[in-house]
Each structure stands twice: as structure tokens, then as C-alpha cells.
């Protein structure tokens, strides 16, 4: 898988060079569902895009609907449920390199969207991942950078700090979108306990994982609008992408932590998908 990942980034770099020469109802209404309540980082802190330069805002027109992650100059990763109108890519754009989702940085329209072909199969919210190709490549800077995803060979500590970022209000009772980027720190939670808690409400598959507050109080979480955004971890001094904000039941609920797409499980799919983007 590590070799596949290296091949993927090598191919993306070559493709970019050639291109230049071109919810509160988080189960039935996923985190990133478009609407007046665009989501929030619960129990987090304000930050600057310089600290999360891989983060983008996925927008419909000029309205923030989800987060996304830069993998290459023209490639962004997000959740499949964020781009349900994938056959109409002209409706979408991304903003990169800005602490504010509404202004600044680079605003680039989308050329093509490829959601996982088995999204929602065989169970709801499974394979919640999509590749977004931009119309023009991003120009890297201190505020715009790609990130690699965690490889199976990487040594990930059981209680490693995980960082999730996004835009939105900073408390459960506040429903308006915040103008500035926020982040919070969570940890991966026991799969068996999480699966048992969600029994009857949703299925946590082998390509998902649960993460939440280390205190177990449910005081930190991602929520609507944060969907599609990155969950990262530091490995050997370098940040890497571990998950995509996907779904959950409620927000900042200790019994129902956030559920994330496990990105390393999709190395083969990413390689094959990006190859089709010519």
C-alpha cells in the first residue's frame, strides 16, 4: 500500500505538470448536508489556515457546504455525501488558502467529481469518499499544501492525538456558521464499543472508525458542515490524513461519537480513480 501511495503522488505530480503545460441529525442528515446550519467544530479553538494548509472549503456556488483535503494541485478529497450532484460539477467550487471560508485565498471551480461507486453499499454511508478534480491547479504556498494519507506501514499509537478542522459555530446550541477556521483534538475510540452503541441506528463498517473526546464526555466533535473535511495525525513528526468526517448521531454526544471514513483503506481506489482524470 505504501508503494501504491507513492505511485499515486508521483502520478499526481506528473499530471499536474502536464496540466499546467493545464444533523443536528447526523444519521439521516449527514454532517455536510446543505442547509442553513452548515456545521461546526464543537469544543474547539480558532486557528489559521497556515496550520491546516491542506484544508479547503467545498462550496456550492459561494456557500460553504463541506470540507475537503488537498492531495495534489488539481485533486481534492471529500465525502461522497457532500457531492450528491456529482454529475453536475459546475455547481461546485473550492476555496483554498484562506482562514475565512467566504473570502480570500484561491476560489477554483470544479471540473469533475468521482464519488466511490459503492457509496451507501452495502449499508448506509459506507464508502463515503469522493475525488474532486479542479478546473485549474492550485499554486502551492504556505497556506496551500497537499497532505499524504496514512500508510498501513505507519505506526499509529492507540491514543494518538487526532486533529479535525472545519468552519462553523463553536457550540452545540449555536447553529450559525463561523467565519473563521476552527479545530479540535480527539482520539480514536474502541471500535467494538462504538459499533455496539450504534446498533439499530447505523452500521460502523471495517472502512470506518470512531473518534471523539479523550475524556469520554462527548465535549469535542465534528458536526454538520464539517463533513468531507480532514482528520489528521502526526506520525514521525509529519502530519498525515487518517480520516474524512462522515456521519454520526447528534453532535458532541458521548454515546454516539463521530464516524470517519478510514482513508488508508482506499489506496487502490484512489490510484485507479486518479488515473481516469486526464
Kindly write down the DSSP assignment for every residue of 188-257, as one continuous string.
E--HHHHHHHHTTT----TTEEEEE-TTSS---EE-TTTTT-EEEEEETTEEEEEEEEEE-SSSSBTTB-
Kindly write down the DSSP assignment for every residue of 89-112, as one continuous string.
GGGEEEEES-SBSSSSSEEEEEEE
128 is catalytic: yes
Cα(54)–Cα(273) distance, integer angstroms: 20
Considering 128, 143, 221, 226, which one is annotated as catalytic? 128
Considering 106, 169, 227, 246, which one is annotated as catalytic? 227
221 is catalytic: no
Structural contact between residues 268 and 207, judged by C-beta atoms closer than 8 angstroms: no
Cα(252)–Cα(236) distance, integer angstroms: 30
Kindly write down the DSSP assignment for every residue of 138-166, as one continuous string.
PPPBTTB---PBPPTTS---TT--EEEEE
Considering 31, 64, 81, 182, which one is annotated as catalytic? 81
Structural contact between residues 278 and 165, judged by C-beta atoms closer than 8 angstroms: no
54 is catalytic: no
Give catalytic residue positions: 81, 128, 227
Amino acid at each position: 500500500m505504501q508503494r501504491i501511495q507513492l505511485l499515486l503522488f508521483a502520478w499526481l505530480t506528473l499530471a499536474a505538470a502536464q496540466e499546467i503545460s493545464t444533523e443536528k441529525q447526523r444519521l439521516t442528515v449527514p454532517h455536510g448536508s446543505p442547509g442553513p446550519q452548515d456545521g461546526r467544530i464543537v469544543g474547539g479553538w480558532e486557528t489559521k489556515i497556515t496550520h491546516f494548509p491542506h484544508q479547503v472549503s467545498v462550496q456550492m456556488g459561494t456557500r460553504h457546504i463541506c470540507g475537503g483535503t488537498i492531495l495534489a494541485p488539481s485533486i481534492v478529497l471529500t465525502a461522497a455525501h457532500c457531492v450528491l450532484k456529482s454529475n453536475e460539477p459546475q455547481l461546485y467550487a473550492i476555496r483554498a488558502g484562506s482562514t475565512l471560508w467566504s473570502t480570500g485565498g484561491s476560489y477554483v471551480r470544479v471540473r469533475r467529481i468521482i464519488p466511490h461507486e459503492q457509496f451507501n453499499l452495502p449499508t448506509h454511508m459506507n464508502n463515503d469518499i469522493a475525488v474532486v478534480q479542479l478546473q485549474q491547479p492550485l499554486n502551492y504556498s504556505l497556506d496551500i499544501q497537499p497532505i499524504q494519507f496514512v500508510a498501513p506501514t505507519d505506526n499509529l499509537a492507540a491514543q494518538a492525538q487526532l486533529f479535525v478542522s472545519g468552519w462553523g459555530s463553536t457550540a452545540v446550541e449555536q447553529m450559525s456558521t463561523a467565519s473563521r477556521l476552527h479545530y479540535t483534538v480527539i482520539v480514536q475510540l474502541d471500535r467494538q464499543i462504538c459499533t455496539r452503541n450504534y446498533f439499530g441506528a447505523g452500521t460502523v463498517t471495517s472502512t470506518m472508525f470512531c473518534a471523539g473526546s479523550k475524556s469520554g464526555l462527548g465535549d469535542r466533535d465534528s458536526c454538520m458542515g464539517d463533513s468531507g473535511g480532514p482528520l489528521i495525525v502526526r506520525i514521525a513528526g509529519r502530519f498525515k490524513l487518517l480520516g474524512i468526517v462522515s456521519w454520526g448521531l447528534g453532535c458532541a454526544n458521548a454515546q454516539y461519537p463521530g464516524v470517519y471514513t478510514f482513508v488508508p483503506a482506499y489506496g487502490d481506489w484512489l490510484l485507479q480513480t486518479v488515473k481516469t482524470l486526464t
